[in-house]
Amino acid sequence: MDFLKPDVREQLMREHFEFRRLLEEHKAADERLIHLVSNPALSSRESMEEVELKKAKLRAKERIYKIVQEFNKSRGQ
């Protein structure tokens, strides 16, 4: 996530439960997607799972972005 500076990430990982949970959710979805797309022929169920995982990753990323924006505002940036 390009918008996430290392110092901000570290502080939010320590202090913000939702942020930590969302990063873990995003990572898990990404790892599952990597596994799915390595299969040349997905079943219809796997194709649906792929779509849902992409949506989950996007939702998590959008919420992470909002948390980072709120954090930066609170720090006066």
Per-residue model confidence as pLDDT tens for the chain (77 residues):
778 899 999 999 999 999 999 999 999 999 999 999 998 899 999 999 999 999 999 999 999 999 999 999 998 86
**Percent of the chain, pLDDT > 70?**
99
**Extents of the domains making up the chain:** 6-72
Taking the CB of residue 43, how many other CB atoms lie within 10 A of it? 9
Sign of CA dihedral 68, 70, 74, 77: positive
Rg (CA), the chain: 15
